Structure 1
Amino acid sequence: MRAWLLEDFGLDNLVLGQAPTPTPKAGELLVRVGAVSLNFRDKAIVEGFYEPHLVPKPLIPVSDAAGTVVAVGEGVSRFAVGDRVNSHLYSRWIDGEPAADEPAYCFGSPLPGGLAEYMIIHEESAVRVPDNLTDEEAATLPIAALTAWYSLVDYGQIEPGQSVLVQGTGGVSIFAVQLATALGARVIATSSSDENLHAVKKLGAVAGINYRTTPKWEEEVLKLTDGKGVDLLLDVAGGDGINQSIAATKAAGRIAQIGFMTGQTAQLSLMPLIFRQTTLRGIAVAPRSSFDRMNEFLGHHRIRPVIDTVYAFEDAREAYEHLNRGAFGKIVIKVT
């Protein structure tokens, strides 16, 4: 089969080549990949700053895929040939709390990912694709949508009328706006682009703050919430900005720490965290059971993913370059 292979760190070392087409073992599905989507994780893996000690070489990268089952191994009962399925990043995290070794069983590193014509997914890990979504749309769900869902529902327990702040207009953030709005929350978005803020308001956000022109954006959040702060804040930036996130969150509010786009380390001011009694939790996607519930919600509310650009399989490097420049919504690669 044709496959993109990461032979060493650096985008120049991601090459289109050949790999053996895998054969499904007991309990496994052979999936013809229709499309994949890129996440910041995929960029970080290629560039060598995401758990580099876990990255095998060569590696078929990219965790998030959607496709069609074309063969099944012995004993498979959850899916049949012809079914459309999603990959799920943490292939062994089915329900409940995560195990300590979940990162050892992630698609796209260290397990082979979806940037190839075929991939293996265990039937217990696979998730049924919503009927109303194309493969390109469904490929955006496994990390971006599910991270937003888990942050809002399983962790945030958002209720109608509550307030949510979403940072940026990347994949997770756009899904968070769509999902939080459907849940009845009041959404505030931040971005460095007035154009993107205008676009995100069309998706349901009630207010937008340009953090370039308003560096003390947390003060604007307090104004928008009558001095209280938001009930839940989704932090995708990381770095020392966590202190502003704490200031923008209500007393006894919650922060979902999702990303590290501005840094993997932070100098945290403890006193505001303590006095505001803020709950800060790291979010690394979610179990498959949450994915199943999310897909039902997406179907019921007719929510469609926002895709910036779809690239051809041969143009995978260009897709990574686009991700590096930034996107409004998701970058997708059509495989077959």
Structure 2
Amino acid sequence: MALHQQYALVRGKTGFNLDLQSKELRALRPHEIRMKVKAASLNYRDLLTFDDPDGNKDGLVPLSDAAGEIVEIGSGVRNWKIGDRVSPGFFPAWTDGAFSQSHLSNALGGGQTDGVLSEYAIADEAALVAIPDYLGFHEAAALPCAGVTAWHALFERGKIQPEHTVLVQGTGGVALLGLQMASAIGARVIVTSSSDEKLARARALGAWQTINYKSQPDWDQIAVELTDGRGVDHILELGGPSSYDRSIAAIAPGGQIAQIGVLSGFGARPDMTPLQFKNAAVNGICVGSVAHYANLNRFLQKHGIHPVIDAEFAFDDAGAAYELLRSASHFGKITISGM
């Protein structure tokens, strides 16, 4: 069999190291395709995986998000052909319908399931979506986790409407794609960040209002004031324990908090009582299905939305991409080119 290049998380004396390896290409099963990876992107989850050698296998191929071109198909594949531009879903087995706990162990690039930071990747035909023609590979690679998460939170579960207000925390991939999609239907979006420069860029993307939570730590009360005392209809809760109580204070009656992020750690224990008296809700959002991904792509194509790419790294420079992600200085997504 031919060899190809892939990265692996290999245990060292103090944890994982990112190691470039040569591996044999295995034969395809009947309903699998082989994709030449043209671009991959990083998510905060990839830092958590890198920093958890006890919870992830030695030799794990990291990253869940990629886009590429089919170069080989299994004998039973009927819906795809060589040359198709495709991207695999974050949960390959969650194609549609209700979520199952069993999908958690099969998420790409974590636990025992290899990901896509590789010259070639194999995927089941049912786990793929077609890349919209107007998007480049780096833009498409920005979507499987961050884009689907924002779509699931706001549109599939949140049922966002044009008259709604949305608050997104930070300027990472989920936040900015949420901003772009909500703005596209006419919803008003408030963005919080500790950087005035990033907030200016968010306004250029369509943010209705921005709040610097470093200089204005009572951002929840400011959000209430901006909405004439009502509060916001949707919050993409990306901060975790440090922001949760303020999110509850900022949510409007009947509003929905999408529980997504853990930037300040795990184990948020907010006072949930105010939600009861606001008839508000918390929706747990863990990415989404392949069907959600297809719905997202149709929406993006309809509105001509381009994901924001902060930086593109060469395949041989993947370690620097991790370093930029860890610095938290990026605006939007960080991508890595294929070989």
Larger mean CA deviation between 8-17 and 88-97 belongs to: 8-17
1:22 to 14, 21, 26: 26
Say whether residues 1:61 and 2:56 are aligned partners. Answer: no
Say whether residues 1:8 and 2:5 are aligned partners. Answer: no
Instruction: Look up the match of 2:75.
Output: 74
1:214-293 superposed matches below 5 A: 214-293=216-295
User: How high is the TM-score relative to the length of structure 2?
Assistant: 0.96
1:333 counterpart letter in structure 2: I
Secondary structure at the aligned position of 2:126 is classed as coil
1:41 to 34, 40, 45: 45
Identity of aligned residues (%): 41
For 1:222 and 1:115, how far apart are their aligned partners in 2? 43
Per-residue displacement from partner, 1:187-229 (whole Å, max 9, x unpaired)?
A: 0000000111110011111100000001110000011000000
Contact 1:11–1:317 (8 Å) recurs in 2: no
CA distance change for structure 1 residues 11 and 322 in 2, over 3 Å: closer, same or farther?
farther
Per-residue displacement from partner, 1:266-315 (whole Å, max 9, x unpaired)?
A: 22113222222220111001111111111111111111110000000111
For 1:21 and 1:192, how far apart are their aligned partners in 2? 45
Contact 1:167–1:236 (8 Å) recurs in 2: yes
The alpha-carbon deviation at position 12 of structure 1 amounts to 5.8
Instruction: Look up the match of 1:108.
Output: 109
Secondary structure at the aligned position of 1:101 is classed as helix
Contact 2:15–2:52 (8 Å) recurs in 1: no
The alpha-carbon deviation at position 22 of structure 1 amounts to 2.9
1:332 counterpart letter in structure 2: T
The alpha-carbon deviation at position 240 of structure 1 amounts to 4.0
Secondary structure at the aligned position of 1:19 is classed as strand
For 1:275 and 1:300, how far apart are their aligned partners in 2? 38
Contact 1:22–1:120 (8 Å) recurs in 2: no
1:28-177 superposed matches below 5 A: 28-48=32-52, 52-53=54-55, 55-109=56-110, 110-177=112-179
Larger mean CA deviation between 319-328 and 40-49 belongs to: 40-49
The alpha-carbon deviation at position 241 of structure 1 amounts to 1.8
User: How high is the TM-score relative to the length of structure 1?
Assistant: 0.96
For 1:270 and 1:42, how far apart are their aligned partners in 2? 30
For 2:235 and 2:49, how far apart are their aligned partners in 1? 26
Instruction: Look up the match of 1:324.
Output: 326
For 1:133 and 1:270, how far apart are their aligned partners in 2? 41
Say whether residues 1:309 and 2:308 are aligned partners. Answer: no
For 1:97 and 1:168, how far apart are their aligned partners in 2? 29
The alpha-carbon deviation at position 112 of structure 1 amounts to 1.4
Contact 1:22–1:30 (8 Å) recurs in 2: no
For 2:161 and 2:312, how far apart are their aligned partners in 1? 34
1:211 to 213, 219, 228: 213
Task: Give the 4+ runs in structure 1 shifted more than 6 A.
Answer: none
2:21 counterpart letter in structure 1: G
Per-residue displacement from partner, 1:135-168 (whole Å, max 9, x unpaired)?
A: 1111001011111111110011011121000000
2:96 counterpart letter in structure 1: D
5+ residue gaps, structure 2, are none
**How many residues matched?**
333
The alpha-carbon deviation at position 252 of structure 1 amounts to 1.9
5+ residue gaps, structure 1, are none
